[in-house]
Structure 1
Amino acid sequence: MARPREFDEAIVLDAAIQCFWAKGFEATSMRDLIDCMGITGASLYNAFGDKRALYLKALAHYLENSFGERVIRLESTLPARQAIAAFFEEIIDRSMSDIQHRGCMMVNSALEAAPHDAGAQVIVDDFLTRAEGFFRRCVESGQNDGTISRSQPAEDLARLLLGVLLGIRVLARVRPQRALLESITRPVAALLEPQQSSSASPLPLPSITEA
């Protein structure tokens, strides 16, 4: 009969995420993981397998509990136009509060692991698909209620917003300057602004206090 686990899986996966996030997959050793997770090597192998298996598990956990949580919360509590604004506001705030300038674990994985690991590629593809889907749903909803311009197809605007998200997360690693990151969102705000309401306040990216 298998012994019950003596640790909380979510807590140790969060610790593994911090380790992989700081060093990347290749530079993170099993000793690093054991020390960060606070469990024995035997427990780690029994629960998660080898380093690659743990990395994929941690990456999927990060996707659900970081991006996934944010999307569900914003879509369920804010109108579409404000949800987009709040999304970028949170991304910039999170980027600026990270003193290690680690960027986004999903974007980092897209650059480091996904090109060489089919398992990581599947998770990264899921992230990109879900991010684009979130933006497209918001744009379509905003176009329907008149708060977002119809001058461009919702699909194109969603992919533009996805590109802005990736750009912000990469820049946050190498040039973590709030003014720079916020300046990227302003042209997007102008593009999303409904043409028929030019006198209205522009989409407040990153702030939503006046939306």
Structure 2
Amino acid sequence: MGRYRSFDETRAMDGAIACFRERGYHASSMRDLEREMGLKSSSLYNAFGDKKTLFLRALEAYMDASPRRRIALLDRSADPLAAIECFLGSIVLVSAADPCGCLLVNSAASPVALDKEIRAAVSGGLGELEAALLRALERAVTQGSLAPEAPVRDLARVLLGAVVSIRVLSRTSPGEPWLRSIADGALAQLRASSPAALAS
């Protein structure tokens, strides 16, 4: 029979996510993680394993708590282009308000992504986002708000690039208008692929 855990695993994982977001993988010491998670070293190791295992679990928990919720909203949208615009707008707002950035994007831009297993997890997370954007764009073609010849795969990557840029550059605190200009540039490419724009 397993030992009873006398701590809140969700709260502890939230602490790990906060630590990795703020400091990054390499700068987050086990002592930092113990403090943020409210655990002693023995409890941390017994419950979550070593630092790399903890990081991978934290990244998965972060995906469930943030990116996958945004993806679900995109997938449920009746108006996919409006949903994409709302999606980018929300990324701008949260990025401008929180200089710690996104754990997924921060990890992609840091040396931790050189680790094969972590790189696969980060690449998979970004791939989930690209796939969701592509699905939304394909629905827009089906509904007629994008032209049949619209380069939807390229547009999905433009949008993903905008998300990554907004998240990375927000850490330098350029301000909401500056970040919004990145989103507006990506949305302008969508508008350029509307039936009316391509017909003109």
TM-score by length of 2: 0.90
Q: Distance in 1 between matches of 2:11 and 2:194?
A: 48
Q: Alignment partner for residue 163 of structure 1, among 142, 161, 164?
A: 161
Amino acid at match of 1:84: I
Q: Corresponding residue for 1:5? A: 5
Write the distance in 1 (CA, Å) between the matches of 2:131 and 2:17: 25
Mapped partners of 1:97, 1:53: distance in 2:
29
What count of residue pairs does the alignment treat as equivalent?
196
Distance 1:114 1:34, change over 3 A: closer
Aligned to 1:121: 119
Q: Which residue of 1 aligns with 2:184?
A: 186
Asked whether the 8 Å contact 1:81–1:139 carries over to 2, the reply is yes
Distance 1:63 1:134 in 2: 14
- The 5 A counterparts of 1:87-126 are 87-98=87-98, 101-126=99-124
Q: Distance in 2 between matches of 1:195 and 1:58?
A: 40
What is the percentage of aligned positions where both structures have the same residue? 38
Closer, same or farther: CA 69–57 of 1 in aligned 2, 3 Å: same
Question: CA separation in 1, counterparts of 2:61 and 2:130?
Answer: 19
Equivalent residue number for residue 73 of structure 1: 73
Matched, 1:145 2:154: no
How many angstroms does 1:123 deviate by?
1.1
Alpha-carbon distance in 2 for matches of 1:188, 1:73: 19
**CA shift digits 1:88-131 (9 cap, x unpaired):** 11111101111xx1221111111224432112111111112111
Q: Which runs of 4+ in 1 moved over 6 A?
A: none
The answer to whether the 8 A contact 1:75-1:83 is kept is no
Map of 1:176 onto structure 2: 174
CA change 1:160–1:150 in 2 (3 A) is farther
Please give the alpha-carbon distance, in whole angstroms, between the structure 1 residues aligned to 2:116 and 2:33: 22
Secondary structure at the counterpart of residue 3 of structure 2: coil
The letter for the 1-side match of 2:47 is A
Segments of 5+ residues of structure 2 without an aligned counterpart are none
Contact 1:113–1:120 (CA<8 Å) still a contact in 2? no
Structure 1 unaligned regions, length at least 5: 199-211
> TM-score scaled to structure 1, two decimals?
0.86
| Distance in structure 2 (CA, Å) of the matches to 1:82 and 1:195 | 13
1:54 corresponds to which residue?
54
- Structure-2 separation of matches of 1:195 and 1:26: 45
**Superposition RMSD in Å:** 1.7
SS at match of 1:4: coil
Moved more, 30-39 or 188-197: 188-197
